[in-house]
Structure 1
Amino acid sequence: MARGGQGLARVAVVVRAGAAPLWWSGVFAAGIGVLPQGVTGRRTGVLAGAVLFLAGAAVMALVRRRRYGALARGAARAGKYDVLQDRAVTVRNWRRGHRWWLLSAWAAALGSALAVPAAGGMLLAGLGTGLWLKAAWIGRRERDAETLLWVRVDWLDRRGGGPAGKAVKGLRGTGIAAGDAAPGGARRRTAALV
């Protein structure tokens, strides 16, 4: 980076990056997992899965909210030479870094269907839903403060290096129009030219 600038990734994009793989792998695992009768039976498995879906979504949406809030309140302005990472690059890097964990979670959810049909897959889908909810909550904070939140990329590369992990000393902020992702980490919609 020129003149001491840092590579920065959007906090909401990092949070949201795992939502789609968890959701779709969970739906796929639950769909296949409902086929075997399992030890508990399908009805019990699906009911247990519904409880796990709701619990997983709630836990994932609420975990570390206080830490995110404290980091957001203390966010410093991004520097002139800081480099804002594209949304697609952030998502790709997160998914590459977590691909074995995602495959292991999917395999465990599929394997658990032999005991409790569909429950493991529904839990994975709930975790993905929770990440979407957390990203939406971050997006509301960003809109209210009119500041997009960014985290240094090198802090994300460390063990346990999520956007609110121990390695993160603080966040940076930019104006609401910076970068190519909207508040909450979704793709920024562009108005059609007439």
Structure 2
Amino acid sequence: MGRGAYALARVAVMVRTAARWLWWTGVLAAVGGVFVPGFTGRRIGLLAGAAAFLIAAVVTFAVRAGRYTALADASTKAAKAVVLQDRGVTARLWIRRWRWWLLLALLVAVGSSVALPAAGGLLMAGAGAGLWAKSVRIGRWERAHEALLWVRPEWTRRGPAGKAVKSYLRTGPVAGDARPGGARRRLAPA
């Protein structure tokens, strides 16, 4: 990179990657937990898991929602010297940073099935669903403002809306390789 250049990662891609991995890890843990004979039985475990899923989804969607909106509304235009990270690079960096925590969460969720079968996995899946809804909300903001939100990756140790994030930057709606909301941009057939 040249002097003054720095990398930017898409906010929505980070949120969507976290959502995908929490969802599938949670589903895997819940399926595995169904086969563990728990103290309370499968039926109670699944009912408790369904309640935990809904609560986790709502709480995850609501946490830092105001901060995301404030950072988005205060975003400034990105300089021409920035390097925009590909969607795949952003996802790989997120996975590399959080893989051990995901593995630990998977083991804890499966282990908790001894008490409440499948409940821990459904809790994780609910957190993933809440993050997915948050990425959809970010995508709506991006479509409404015809801009994509970006953040410096070195600021995101605690997530794309953590305390270390000073501001978001924005580009036009066709920058990068992801659509508003972080979904993969489909190439038009030639």
Count residues in correspondence: 190
Q: Which residue of 1 aligns with 2:143?
A: 143
Q: How far apart in 2 are the matches of 1:28 and 1:150? A: 31
Q: So what's the TM-score if we normalise by structure 1?
A: 0.95
Query: Secondary structure of 2:3's partner?
Result: helix
1:96 aligns with 2:96: yes
Q: Which residue of 1 aligns with 2:20?
A: 20
Task: Indicate which of 163, 168, 172 corresponds to 1:166.
Answer: 163
Q: How far apart in 1 are the matches of 2:153 and 2:30? A: 34
Q: Which residue of 1 aligns with 2:186?
A: 189
Measured after TM superposition, the shift of residue 59 of structure 1 is 1.0
Moved more, 112-121 or 30-39: 30-39
Query: Secondary structure of 1:3's partner?
Result: coil
Q: Which residue of 2 aligns with 1:56?
A: 56
Q: How far apart in 1 are the matches of 2:154 and 2:29? A: 34
Measured after TM superposition, the shift of residue 153 of structure 1 is 1.6
Task: Indicate which of 158, 173, 177 corresponds to 2:174.
Answer: 177
Q: Which residue of 2 aligns with 1:76?
A: 76
Measured after TM superposition, the shift of residue 87 of structure 1 is 0.3
Q: Which residue of 2 aligns with 1:47?
A: 47
Measured after TM superposition, the shift of residue 26 of structure 1 is 1.0
Measured after TM superposition, the shift of residue 5 of structure 1 is 1.9
Measured after TM superposition, the shift of residue 2 of structure 1 is 1.4
Query: Secondary structure of 1:122's partner?
Result: helix
Q: How far apart in 2 are the matches of 1:150 and 1:61? A: 20
Query: Secondary structure of 1:55's partner?
Result: helix
Question: What RMSD, in angstroms, separates the aligned Cα atoms of the two structures?
Answer: 0.9
Measured after TM superposition, the shift of residue 188 of structure 1 is 0.5
- CA deviation profile, 1:18-60 (whole Å, cap 9, x unmatched): 1122111111111111112311111100000000011111111
Measured after TM superposition, the shift of residue 135 of structure 1 is 0.5
Query: Secondary structure of 1:18's partner?
Result: helix
Q: How far apart in 1 are the matches of 2:21 and 2:141? A: 25
Measured after TM superposition, the shift of residue 151 of structure 1 is 0.1
Measured after TM superposition, the shift of residue 133 of structure 1 is 0.7
> Any gaps of 5 or more consecutive residues in structure 2?
none
Q: So what's the TM-score if we normalise by structure 2?
A: 0.97
Query: Secondary structure of 1:124's partner?
Result: helix
- CA deviation profile, 1:77-105 (whole Å, cap 9, x unmatched): 00010000000000000010000100000
Q: How far apart in 2 are the matches of 1:140 and 1:48? A: 32
Q: 2:2 corresponds to which letter in structure 1?
A: A
